[in-house]
Structure 1
């Protein structure tokens, strides 16, 4: 016999309306009552309908521990409320991203999270967002501002503050020839990190900071290629726009016969757990992954429950984690 909400209500000793509110994640149900209903559904083997239970998390960098960690935390925040996350690996703004969303819309997707996806790309096609709005499917962005005509909540680490923290640390150590390796132009987070770097350098009387910025891909190879160029300019310290780029920077420094941090200091960005176990452990600016994911989860639950969430970008402060890849510059 198929189990319905009538049987669940009888087992939990609540009304069918209460069971319905739990199933649809509505307000007005206490945690205690919600737990009783969830337990009754589990005991009876009640199966939630797939329709409207899926949340797509679209991201490019699955191999990057930071993005994998954020996706996992979003899953943990949504799972207790009956929402199932689906990870959609796609190149930001590419055809694959649109095809993922189109397929999932037909399956009954409840919401979409753009985790450093097309929301990071300057001039990205808005067709996917327009389709979601037309279907009344809510979506949010993480670390990447949507275009002005795309109204949606966005939750980002303050990239400009991250650059300020890195430059300040190196400047306090005595470095003056500080370089930066960042992502490609037109990538919103990369652009903001560069803006923050230039501003932080100018604040300290270094006006030609643009020539110390190298734009490359967010990869180990991109960091390695950038390191060679910055070392040729005489940099004694390098700020990388990701931990992966920082790994490439360190490799590039070592391949030129220099050491970190004795000859050149290096700072990463993201703060994934593996950075603590590198040799030497990486100084990095840590993104608040836990708080970002928690806020994304809260907002998704509110949006699928037809509650208001403010549009626009909400910024979260990063944290400088000082380890062993930064030191005073070498003596002349």
Structure 2
């Protein structure tokens, strides 16, 4: 008995109609089911821009209706981030995920200590799954002389990646960063206008690219206003509540009337150091944070903070990743996006 006689319906002996391979149906048939043009179907299949989300959903529904399902291989974007405890990183990951979703790309978020073996392990494991691209979000890309293995592994497989808030010195890949020099200028200018002259900075560790840039911007801003002792008013510590508290303690001993912190956690640590000395924010000491989130409205007092432009960062990441996934050329010059000072209740006129 021939195979066709044993299986007259051509089901391959399974009793089920075989799924159409990706290229077996004509674009015209899928377009007719979705009620769109063939060009639109093509754009959806190739994850190109210029298709409204609702239209894209119609095409995806038509593809499912004819039995064509996208696999996860080649659709995953790996995001390497130094934890999600700080609201800023959670917000950026969420924004990138929302920006990628209409293009049928899925974000996998991997919290890692920057430059650690876990970063390399995540890259190795997910690379074998066939990831489409990767994002270094304030990960090893923010550390000078960090272990290059993670991004070199991606390069060895031809997997595109981008960096946020600092790039790798040995790689010509797209980088988008908040302008940390401008962030420092905004903070110093605000406090100077309030009459503060003894302004201190609690900065991140030496060798951390954003921290080094904020220190440079702080010194430039202070020097431009004739405040020449600024180098003595910079204390480096970890980006944490305790790091901010210890750094603020040192600055308070130097008689500062205002503190610029390099993260909101460090700023809240400064709150603790100030109140433990019997002082008040902002009556005795003004405080400015960095990153900004809606939760700062509920601190006591509400924290003035420099906001990183999350939506613009996420949009840049999504558009650039799509261009790279489609093997089209991209600019590799670092793009700096403007921060914004959100003034709340933690800064006031300097005491006389």
Q: TM-score range by the shorter chain?
A: over 0.9
Per the TM alignment, residue 39 of structure 1 is displaced from its structure 2 partner at its CA by: 3.0
How far apart, in 2, do the equivalents of 1:252 and 1:185 lie?
22
How far apart, in 2, do the equivalents of 1:18 and 1:196 lie?
47
Aligned to 1:75: 97
Query: Where do residues 45-64 of structure 1 align in structure 2 (5 Å cutoff)?
Result: 46-64=68-86
Aligned to 1:198: 219
Aligned to 1:297: 318
Listed as ranges, the gaps of 5+ residues in structure 1 are: none
Asked if the contact 2:134/2:160 (under 8 Å) is kept, the reply is: yes
How far apart, in 1, do the equivalents of 2:181 and 2:254 lie?
24
Listed as ranges, the gaps of 5+ residues in structure 2 are: 1-16
Structure 2 SS opposite 1:259? coil
Aligned to 1:185: 206
Per the TM alignment, residue 308 of structure 1 is displaced from its structure 2 partner at its CA by: 1.5
Give the greater-gyration-radius structure (CA).
Answer: 2
Per the TM alignment, residue 47 of structure 1 is displaced from its structure 2 partner at its CA by: 2.2
How far apart, in 2, do the equivalents of 1:26 and 1:320 lie?
35
Normalised to the residue count of structure 1, the TM-score between the two structures is: 0.94
Per the TM alignment, residue 199 of structure 1 is displaced from its structure 2 partner at its CA by: 0.6
How far apart, in 2, do the equivalents of 1:288 and 1:99 lie?
30
Normalised to the residue count of structure 2, the TM-score between the two structures is: 0.89
1:258 equivalent to 2:279? Answer: yes
Change (3 A) 1:43 1:198: same
Aligned to 2:254: 233
Per the TM alignment, residue 34 of structure 1 is displaced from its structure 2 partner at its CA by: 4.1
Query: Where do residues 1-332 of structure 1 align in structure 2 (5 Å cutoff)?
Result: 1=17, 2=19, 4-5=21-22, 6=24, 9=27, 10-13=29-32, 19=41, 21-26=43-48, 30-31=51-52, 34-44=56-66, 46-147=68-169, 149-331=170-352
Structure 1 SS opposite 2:202? strand
Provide the aligned length of Structure 1 versus Structure 2: 329
Higher relative contact order (CA 8 A, sep 6+): 1
Structure 1 SS opposite 2:330? coil
Per the TM alignment, residue 146 of structure 1 is displaced from its structure 2 partner at its CA by: 1.7
Per the TM alignment, residue 286 of structure 1 is displaced from its structure 2 partner at its CA by: 0.6
Asked if the contact 2:43/2:51 (under 8 Å) is kept, the reply is: no
CA RMSD, aligned part only?
2.0
Structure 1 SS opposite 2:334? strand
Deviations 1:129-164 (A, max 9, x none): 2221121110000111221x2111010000010000
Per the TM alignment, residue 25 of structure 1 is displaced from its structure 2 partner at its CA by: 1.6
Asked if the contact 1:302/1:309 (under 8 Å) is kept, the reply is: yes
Per the TM alignment, residue 35 of structure 1 is displaced from its structure 2 partner at its CA by: 4.6
Range that drifts further, 285-294 or 126-135: 126-135
Per the TM alignment, residue 307 of structure 1 is displaced from its structure 2 partner at its CA by: 1.4
Per the TM alignment, residue 204 of structure 1 is displaced from its structure 2 partner at its CA by: 0.5
How far apart, in 2, do the equivalents of 1:4 and 1:187 lie?
49
How far apart, in 1, do the equivalents of 2:165 and 2:51 lie?
33
Structure 1 SS opposite 2:278? coil
Change (3 A) 1:45 1:320: farther
Asked if the contact 1:8/1:40 (under 8 Å) is kept, the reply is: no
